[in-house]
Structure 1
Amino acid sequence: MSTPAGFSELHPVLQHHIVNTLGWRELRPLQQAAIAPVVAGEDALLLAPTAGGKTEAALFPLLTRMANESWAGPSVLYVCPLRALLNNLEPRIASYAGWLGRSVAVRHGDTGAGARRRIAIDRPDIVLTTPESLEAMLVSTTIDARILLSEVRTVVVDEVHAFAGDDRGWHLLAVLERIAELVGRPLQRIGLSATVGNAPELLTWLQGSGRGRRSAQVINPEVPGSTSADVELDYVGSVTNAAKIISALHRGQKRLVFAESRARVEELAQRLIDLGTETYVSHSSLSAAERRRAERAFAEARDCVIVATSTLELGIDVGDLDRVIQVGTPTSVAAFLQRLGRTGRRRGTSRNALFLTTSDDELLTAAALLLRWSQGYVESVVAPPGPRHLLAQQLLALCLQKGQVGRTTWVEPLRDLGLTSDVETMKITEWMIESEHVDVDSAMLFVGPEAERRYGYRHFIELLSLFTSAPEFLVVHGSHEVGSIDPYALIRKVNGPRVITLAGRGWLVQHIDWSRRRAYVEPSESLGTSRWIGIPQPLSYQLMQAERGVLLGSAPASVQMSDRAGSQLIRIREELAGRVDHRATVIESTTGRSRWWTWAGGRANASLMAALEAMDPALIDEGYVFDNRSIALRAGVDAGALRSVLVRARGQLGKSDSGIRPIVTQQALEQLKFSELLPPDLARATLEARLEDVPGAAATLSHPVVDSVI
């Protein structure tokens, strides 16, 4: 290997093994660029496509620091969003650490009690973990976190964009602030991510409260050829046809197929198996053992397919892939880039993706997404606003960690994270006292009887998770857990034996234990159906505006479109021509109804609906119906009736005292975990902020509105 500046800063033992054990002739650009700032102790965000060498870019300089500065363990926390990703990374990271006589351990929810005890006793140098397990260590009654975590210097956050986009990111930041308080020093923070649209802001977010903030930089060197890809868009009309094409194309190659729901994954796997294609399945409702079995078998096979949801979007290693196929479309360019990056890893191969769309809606959305991709657009990663419920959860977690905390001082470690205001913090504290989630004695707070009742089961395990679990039934074959399924699949009326499909296989339901929520099954030659509860995700203003652009004639560059897709897109444009206009939004009036075609996305339309209701509720359809593309209005409402209302709405939208807020249903509140820890008005305000898109709504209001001419 040549020795450019930077490589010589790595520990000599690492240099030797990189050249002689790994056989690398050179470091990748990201790995080279990361050495100096990471060795210097700076915070950093390392950006590269999937399989771009981000793990090594962080670990090689950190192992150098560990050796040069004689760090004791655990000194590095390596945090991932998925347990499977941690398991996948452990052998590789352990081999690197082992070159320097350092040790690695995995600690997550599947780690057994014995392994957890060994971590506390042997104290490995690097701990691979999740935010939930970090908090479990902080509140544990069997280990002393002050001893176990006392030497922590650095945290590496893999797939940081996956954290930052939801409440797990806020939870991670809060836990890191508590660890920094525990060890008495700020932590070096290194984020690893694929391409994002707002890298500097993401790095600032990762740095947390700013107390003791280090110098920081985004490291994103240009990689020659990294933007080229072979992307195709096809229209196939049905899942059955998609399976036929997948089965026939690229035989002898390994194909990773993405679908957007667990039910579609199972349906597609069924069809492929029926066609004689060796097929494996991976999604979140399969047991960990079943997922590992499928992913291991796929990695070792050659001519096969694995069908997955976004669980395989992140960097879990399933071997060298030849093809990525998307049935339907992901909801963001960022997700597409993650999936595209699973290919083109071997020398002489290129990144590739084939879209197989099964409906007009899917074709339109896929064309829009690829249009944005071809324009170089990638979504910004924005943390959910107003995480007040997370602050309330942290009050209980701090009570568990410390036994008791000051009534007015407990928030100090978290004060500068921006979770909420000081006034609202006081209001949340008083509500939790009033609702008996915490008790108070001599200005000290501790866990109250309501928190014990609601969360105390199994050492407060539900308090450590940010997700509300769906009430699924465990599916068991003998002593083997296959996965879980929605109860509806077990109670819906069927003619004959009840057969469900899970892991791409049919299962005959033999017995249902309703009290333990278990379904006992035996293999079946027949195939049944699958069902899970899911909440549709609103699509963005940018993506919907791209749909509008496609309908008006734009097409994605550098994308090969099949004749079928091209012909179908022409038909879609003709059919929807009356719903788009080059200069305006459109009111379409038909018998008994009117509809305002905004092409603004679900959140912006929620804000627009709220504005219409505040200005003139008589305009709105009594069903209060809107979607990503349009808003239902009462029959007879035309552009003239709407214009003056929209002018007034434009002046009020975004004002704090306007009263324009999206409707929050009780069902929505129940989906916000820990909402019961908040005063009702703050719980509602949290969801209102998360359901709205004021900039998208304002942009829509800036356009004229016209009546459809077709």
Structure 2
Amino acid sequence: MDVFDHYASFIQDYIYEHGWQTLRPIQVAAAEEIFTTDHNVLLSASTASGKTEAAFFPILSKIAQQPADSIQVLYIAPLKALINDQYDRLTDLCQDTNIKVWRWHGDVAQSQKRKMLKKPSGILQITPESLESFIINKHMDIPHLFHGLQFIVIDELHSFLRSDRGGQTFCLIERLSKLAGVNPRRIGLSATIGNLKAAAEFLGAGSQHQTVAPKVQNQKQVWRLSMEHFYQTNPQAGDKDFDPSEVGAPKADQAPALADPGIGYIFEHTRGKKCLVFTNSREECEAVCQQLREYCQYNHEPDCFLIHHGNLSPALRETAEQAMKDKDSYMTTCATATLELGIDIGQLESAFQIDAPFTVSGFLQRMGRTGRRGNPPEIHFVMREEHPESRAMLPDLIPWSLLQGIALVQLYLEEKWVEPPEPNRLPYSLLYHQTMSTLASSGEMSPAELASRVLSLAYFHNVSQDDYKILLWHLLKTNQIERTANGGLILGLAGEKVVNNFKFYAVFQENEEFSVHAGSEELGTIVKPPPVGDKIAIAGRVWVVEDIDRKRHQVYCHGVDGRIPAYFGDVPGDIHPHILHRMRKVLAEKTMYPYLLHNAKARLIQMRDTCNIAGLPEKQLISLGGNMWVFFPWTGSYAFLALERLLRIKCADRLNLRGFNSSRPYFMEFAMDADADEFYKILHEEAEKDFDPMDLVYPKEVPVFDKYDEYLPDKLIRKEFAYSVLDIKEMKKCVNAMFKENN
């Protein structure tokens, strides 16, 4: 079809005014699907490939022909900043039309919201949390506001594929559609989808429309990519006379005093430029920004660094966003994942990533913030580690971040691989949330009606009627819900307290700080503590969590020897098995990757030599002397966790396992009385047994992971951990492969 001819005249004018010579392949493919079918459409193409226009040119052309006194397009995005950015673009696109563009989130003026409620039409842009609030508080208005809804556009779809927030979004889409009596088409947009088929199934779950993902030939992309390594004090791995035993303070001419060479490298390479510096946690973001500002001070230069993360006020975040969009501003912004997603922040020269992100998707998104306006995407990794102590054991000699960074890049370059969706979880925390939300919005319901409303949502396809009964009985017992004289269910007093708090709308954990105590000493604070028995790093030492008082926000721990990365709680815990497999391959192969710079090359050579002498990566179990061993499973975080528990619960007596120390998902250290052959034999025998996943949950353990777990019965929390968190299938596969390799 001639796509251009099908566009409304104002879209054609927009294309002429912007001097476009041709439409991009994704724009042609999207228009053909949207104009000629009634399919849901997944649009996946590289960053800055014109996906927003690909979706909205045909959508706007269609709704321009059929005006309605209702919202016709619902646009859902994961971030307010992305909504604000797209609001400007869509308003510009619709300026000569009668199509209104509205936005609805916490920073939008009430006067604007009232106008939309009075005269609904056109496009409404919203976050999942604001949509939740809308469905609860504007329940009676939904049929009036959305009776003409034709399209739901979900931007940055990949960010919804692997979390309860994604589950919440799709539950809300289904609930809204039923309440309004509509059957809208879903249009998903993303630059980082690996498995198109799985993502299309996720997008279409619970919809009456078929879902398609047109394959388009992306233009070949050139990347500007580098990876450098720094020890936090000199000498560096690439120094001519490097001797790891002569580790000292920085040279006297370094600036400022006790400066971190990796931060100095970033300072030098961002001078006079507009860049982004990504970190993996908000604490690190604050620390890095502070150190970069110290460099400015030391060099008597004006402060040219901004900061952007989820805990800052809207005013501070918007200041950073505006400065980045300003063509004449040459400021660099330190950011977390809040700037990872599709905000067009103008002509950025490059992005820097401190240490490796946890996902291929995160790496691609961060690189995708650059490379607009015709320039290639550009990202520079800065990997940092401390010099190992003179008597450090083998695992501490491996620069895990450098290894992980190489694996992430290679997986995409070689296979175009990105983490797939996770559709088969037991999301009990979200089940509680949507149950309470349904009662809050609809009022009294019979148990059967409530179960029918909630369990029919596609995201809960794995939840049984029996599990739901267990949940409802527990909620009655804890006064989260009450039974009326008619036998119906309503919110109870305890439940009203939860639902009436504005924090209820979000299913992700807020950054609530817990104070950390060892005996009578307070060590500082962390966010979202790990489960009891896990380790945290704080106050320059390593501690094991003994107990967590969630009501008082306190963590109790005791000190142990060892080194682990600092745990702050707001980093994703799930590193996919495929990434660990590729990390092992990096150690095994001789390749010198073209993007590695001087120190990184030297450090990779050292790492391979060290591992080769020890027998890594062929051997996965290595003797550290005496009865001490180190075990490298090379599998994902949750398969690693299952393996850890298999060893400690099922194999410990047979191996006489003791002194267990784990750095997830990289290695485990322990003492045992068996040799390597016996270890693999016993591990394989136990893994092959037909055991219940609940066997890998410790007695009396209630592993709280998700925001609303505290309101669930212990039985369901334990079941979700055993069947959804522990990756037993992958663990068994991993053990089987190891056994074959060693026999």
Q: TM-score, normalised by structure 1?
A: 0.84
Which residue number in structure 2 is paired with residue 435 of structure 1? 478
**Residues in 1 aligned to 2:172 and 2:647: alpha-carbon distance in whole angstroms:** 41
C-alpha deviation, 1:232, in angstroms: 1.3
**Residues in 1 aligned to 2:513 and 2:605: alpha-carbon distance in whole angstroms:** 43
Kept after mapping to 2: 8 A contact 1:584/1:703: no
Kept after mapping to 1: 8 A contact 2:358/2:572: no
Task: Pick from 389, 395, 409 the counterpart of residue 370 of structure 1.
Answer: 409
C-alpha deviation, 1:416, in angstroms: 4.8
Task: Pick from 147, 152, 169 the counterpart of residue 150 of structure 1.
Answer: 147
Gaps of 5+ in 2: 233-258, 297-302, 386-398, 515-522, 527-552, 554-565
Which residue number in structure 1 is paired with residue 537 of structure 2? none
Which residue number in structure 1 is paired with residue 544 of structure 2? none
Are positions 1:461 and 2:502 aligned together?
yes
Secondary structure of the residue aligned to 2:260 is helix
Task: Pick from 435, 440, 445 the counterpart of residue 489 of structure 2.
Answer: 445
Task: Pick from 185, 192, 197 the counterpart of residue 188 of structure 1.
Answer: 185
Amino acid at match of 1:634: A
Which residue number in structure 2 is paired with residue 247 of structure 1? 267
Kept after mapping to 2: 8 A contact 1:389/1:678: yes
**Residues in 2 aligned to 1:174 and 1:556: alpha-carbon distance in whole angstroms:** 47
Are positions 1:543 and 2:579 aligned together?
yes
Which residue number in structure 1 is paired with residue 638 of structure 2? 603
RMSD of aligned residue pairs (Cα, Å): 2.9
Cα–Cα, structure 1 residues 379 and 574, in superposed 2: closer, same or farther, change >3 Å? same
Task: Pick from 584, 601, 605 the counterpart of residue 566 of structure 1.
Answer: 601
**Deviations 1:453-480, CA, capped at 9 Å, x for gaps:** 3x15xx342322202323359xxxxxxx
Secondary structure of the residue aligned to 1:326 is strand
Amino acid at match of 1:676: E
Task: Pick from 344, 349, 362 the counterpart of residue 371 of structure 2.
Answer: 344
Kept after mapping to 1: 8 A contact 2:70/2:121: yes
Which residue number in structure 2 is paired with residue 492 of structure 1? none
- 1:58-73 matches, within 5 Å, as 58-73=55-70
Amino acid at match of 2:229: Y
Amino acid at match of 1:293: T
C-alpha deviation, 1:216, in angstroms: 2.1
**Deviations 1:76-129, CA, capped at 9 Å, x for gaps:** 110001111111211111222333211011111233433322221121411100
Kept after mapping to 1: 8 A contact 2:651/2:683: no
Which residue number in structure 2 is paired with residue 521 of structure 1? none
Kept after mapping to 2: 8 A contact 1:428/1:677: no
**Residues in 2 aligned to 1:537 and 1:137: alpha-carbon distance in whole angstroms:** 31
Cα–Cα, structure 1 residues 93 and 387, in superposed 2: closer, same or farther, change >3 Å? same
State the aligned residue count: 643
C-alpha deviation, 1:408, in angstroms: 0.8
Which residue number in structure 2 is paired with residue 37 of structure 1? 33
**Residues in 1 aligned to 2:687 and 2:509: alpha-carbon distance in whole angstroms:** 37
Kept after mapping to 2: 8 A contact 1:602/1:627: yes
- 1:298-377 matches, within 5 Å, as 298-300=324-326, 301-347=328-374, 349-359=375-385, 360-376=399-415, 377=417
**Residues in 2 aligned to 1:248 and 1:299: alpha-carbon distance in whole angstroms:** 22
Which residue number in structure 2 is paired with residue 266 of structure 1? 286
Cα–Cα, structure 1 residues 665 and 106, in superposed 2: closer, same or farther, change >3 Å? farther
Task: Pick from 710, 717, 738 the counterpart of residue 676 of structure 1.
Answer: 710
**Residues in 2 aligned to 1:67 and 1:582: alpha-carbon distance in whole angstroms:** 61
- 1:436-515 matches, within 5 Å, as 436-441=479-484, 442-453=486-497, 455-456=498-499, 459-472=500-513, 488=525
Which residue number in structure 2 is paired with residue 689 of structure 1? 723
Kept after mapping to 1: 8 A contact 2:153/2:186: yes
Secondary structure of the residue aligned to 1:256 is strand
- 1:15-164 matches, within 5 Å, as 15-20=12-17, 22-39=18-35, 40-140=37-137, 144-164=141-161
**Residues in 2 aligned to 1:223 and 1:261: alpha-carbon distance in whole angstroms:** 32
Cα–Cα, structure 1 residues 280 and 383, in superposed 2: closer, same or farther, change >3 Å? farther
**Residues in 2 aligned to 1:705 and 1:578: alpha-carbon distance in whole angstroms:** 23
Kept after mapping to 1: 8 A contact 2:170/2:459: no
Amino acid at match of 2:439: C
Cα–Cα, structure 1 residues 592 and 33, in superposed 2: closer, same or farther, change >3 Å? same
6-15 or 628-637, larger mean C-alpha shift: 628-637
Amino acid at match of 1:64: S
Cα–Cα, structure 1 residues 332 and 533, in superposed 2: closer, same or farther, change >3 Å? closer
**Residues in 2 aligned to 1:688 and 1:598: alpha-carbon distance in whole angstroms:** 20
**Deviations 1:338-369, CA, capped at 9 Å, x for gaps:** 1222222223x222221111122222221222
**Residues in 1 aligned to 2:410 and 2:496: alpha-carbon distance in whole angstroms:** 52
Kept after mapping to 2: 8 A contact 1:240/1:268: no
C-alpha deviation, 1:59, in angstroms: 1.1
**Residues in 1 aligned to 2:316 and 2:365: alpha-carbon distance in whole angstroms:** 24
Which residue number in structure 1 is paired with residue 194 of structure 2? 197
Kept after mapping to 2: 8 A contact 1:587/1:707: no
Are positions 1:385 and 2:385 aligned together?
no
**Residues in 2 aligned to 1:580 and 1:696: alpha-carbon distance in whole angstroms:** 25
Cα–Cα, structure 1 residues 531 and 677, in superposed 2: closer, same or farther, change >3 Å? closer
**Deviations 1:495-517, CA, capped at 9 Å, x for gaps:** xxxxxxxxxxxxxxxxxxxxxx9
Cα–Cα, structure 1 residues 371 and 142, in superposed 2: closer, same or farther, change >3 Å? closer
C-alpha deviation, 1:402, in angstroms: 1.1
**Residues in 2 aligned to 1:140 and 1:185: alpha-carbon distance in whole angstroms:** 20
C-alpha deviation, 1:383, in angstroms: 4.1
Cα–Cα, structure 1 residues 547 and 81, in superposed 2: closer, same or farther, change >3 Å? same
Kept after mapping to 2: 8 A contact 1:374/1:556: no
**Residues in 1 aligned to 2:629 and 2:116: alpha-carbon distance in whole angstroms:** 64
